[in-house]
Structures are given as C-alpha cells and as structure tokens.
Amino acid sequence: MRTVGVEEELLLVDPETGEPRAMSAAVLARAERDDADQDVFEKELHEQMLEFATHPQSDMAALRAEIGRCRAEAGRHAGELGCAVAALATSPLPVSPAVSMNRRYQWMAEQYGIATREQLVLGCHVHVSVESDEEGVAVVDRLRPWLSVLSAISANSPFWQGSDTGYSSYRSRVWQRWPSAGPTEMFGSAERYHRRVADMVATGAILDEGMIYFDARLSQRYPTVEIRVSDVCLRADTAVLIATLARGLVETAAREWREGREPVDHSVSLLRLAAWRAARSGLADKLLHPVTMRRMPAESVVQALLEHVEDALGESGDLDEVRKAAAELLRNGTGADAQREALRRTESLRDVVTECVRHTQE
C-alpha cells in the first residue's frame, strides 16, 4: 500500500488579539529542545509561519493521530512563548509579513519584490509514494484534471488584510504570483519532465529545483509525488480526507498508466479556469467537472471524484470513511464557510481567529 505524508503550514498568532506574530525562530528553538520534535518542525518563508511534516503512513487513522499530535505540539511550543497556532491559509486580520532571515528567502525577497513580501499564505502538501520517476510523471500527467476538486474541498482562506475577498481559497490566487506556480502541460516521460525542470532553472527566474511550484510535482527529497494545491485545512479530519483522496488519485492514475490508458488532455487554460472556479466558491457553488470541463453542482463533482477513485479506496479500506467525511463536509461546509459563519455570529475577525485556534487544536 502506498504511504502518505502531510506537510502543514500553521499561522502563529497572538491568542488575545488574533494578530499574526513573527515568532517562528523562537518557536523552532523551543521545539529543538524536545527530542521528539527535532525533525518535525521547519522554518518557512515568513516569520509568522510554522511548518511541520508527518512521517510516511499507510494507515489513515495513524496519519490522523500524527497530524493531531503535531498540531498539539506546535500549540504547546507556541504557547510557552505567549502565542498560539491557527490552521488558517491566510490571516483574517491585517498583517505586515516578516521574511525569514536566510539566504534563500532573502534572494526571493530581492528577486520578486512585493510578491514575496505579501506572500503570507499557508498550504497543505501531500506526498504519496511512487515506485519510480516514470510512474511519478505518469501520475502527474493523470492527476491534472482532478486537482481543482481537492482545492475546493480544502478551501480555507476567505479573508485578506481584514476584508472578505469573495473567494473561498484566496490563498491559491496569491500563490499564483510565483512564476513557476500552477497547472502544467503533460510531460509524457520522466526524461521530458526533468528536461523541463532543468530548462526552467537555467532561465535564472527561479533559484533551483525547490522553486518548481507545479500543482503536482516529483519531490526532490522523497520518492513521492507531491500534491500542492490545498489550503491548510481548518480541521485535521479535512486534511486526512485530502490525503486519502490524494492517495486514491495516485493509485488510480498509476493503474491507468500500467493499463495503457491515456490521460485526459485538457489544456492548461482550462485547468486554470477550473482552479479559479474552485478558489472562488469552494463547495458553495458549481465547479467544473474534471472530465467535461462544464459547470456542475459541487456535490456532483465531488461524487465524480469519489467514483473515479472508488476501486483504489475500496482496496485500501478507506472508502466508507471517505464517503462519510465527504458527506459531512458537503453538509457542514469548508473552513472558509466556517470562518464566514464565525464572522456573522461574532462580527469580529479577532474572534474568528480565536475560534480557528480552537478548531486547530481539536
């Protein structure tokens, strides 16, 4: 069974005011004193962010437990320094992001200017194991139409600099400012994939292969396909749903490749429109169907995704849990819906952040 690992980026906030706090260096130093957490947490682009990575897991219950533990440990280390963590993909309150002080991030700040200074967005990246680069590229080619549905499911960033953006995943729109971000054309082989990456680095517009920000890519560090379209999810259960669907998509794509079935050949232009539609409304309105690229109710599109990966989920024993989790999400709404509902009740973005801190630790 394929293993799955999750990377989550959390927002460091003041527990009283809800305002982001540039405390990542201090929190990381605190975490490094704990033997169990030395390799779990990492620095990110901005000082208001804290990232953790789970171990590879084949059992989704074990993955859920580890995400919960990592969130709790992040909250404990932050709390010891007078701040808190929130699984928010953008800050609801106004913020002036502080770029972390290392050579890589300073290069980005100089190269990309305001795009770097404003890029305080927080995502969830899912790694799914593959047997080879050839299989990985075949999977990347076949994932393309389905990634917008994962983006819609994860939507958790309706606010930006103190205002409602009208989007459910505004993080994904901000992320598109990077020159290498977004959907890709089909590669067809590992050789073509690596040649394209080398050509992109050779332009000098990006620093290295680590800045290949494709929606799905071969990981530099692990034998995995890394899916990068999701907001960090407000609730850990949603993150597990995304990870489980990602594994189902990878397994389904690999089987199609082995059986000689060609990928759906949508243009990048259509994929960008599907991604925009998902970012705009999450699960609250129509989405573009991954196969037909025509508008359909979000519930129907989610159902199409479940049918697409049904065999893979059935064999891994995850089908019933995924159906249950998807139905609950469609009924109760995304993280973006929860944030907007909290604002309607409290009329305070500060209280929205406070509620999201609680949800993060649940």
Using alpha carbons, select from 183, 149, 157, 178 the residue that is nearest to residue 330: 149
Q: Mean pLDDT in the chain?
A: 96
**pLDDT tier, 37 (very low <50, low <70, confident <90, very high otherwise):** low
pLDDT, residue 303, reads 98
User: How many angstroms separate the CA atoms of 81 and 85, rounded?
Assistant: 11
Q: What is the pTM of this model?
A: 0.97
Which residues constitute the domain of residue 223?
109-361
Is residue 313 pLDDT above 80, yes or no?
yes
pLDDT digits (tens, 9 = 90+) for 247-293: 999 999 999 999 999 999 999 999 999 999 999 999 999 999 999 99
Residue 65 counted as domain residue: no
pLDDT at res. 101: 85
| Token digits of residue 135 | 């299989």
CATH of the domain at 208: 3.30.590.20
* Distance of alpha carbon 73 from alpha carbon 86, whole angstroms: 13
Our count of domains for the chain comes to 1
Please report whether residue 44 resides in a domain: no
Asked if residue 93 belongs to a domain, the reply is no
Indicate the pLDDT class of residue 40, thresholds 50, 70 and 90: confident
Q: Is residue 51 part of a domain?
A: no
- In this predicted structure, the answer to whether residue 36 has a pLDDT above a threshold of 70 is no
Q: Judge whether 82 lies within some domain.
A: no
Residue 106 CA to its chain's centroid (Å)? 24
> Which segment of 43-47, 120-124, 187-191 scores lowest on mean pLDDT?
43-47
Identify whether 331 is part of a domain.
yes
Closest CA to 11 of 219, 195, 159, 229: 159
Q: Is residue 293 part of a domain?
A: yes
In a domain, 101, yes or no: no
- The pLDDT score that the predictor gives to residue 39 is 77
Query: What length does the chain have?
Result: 362
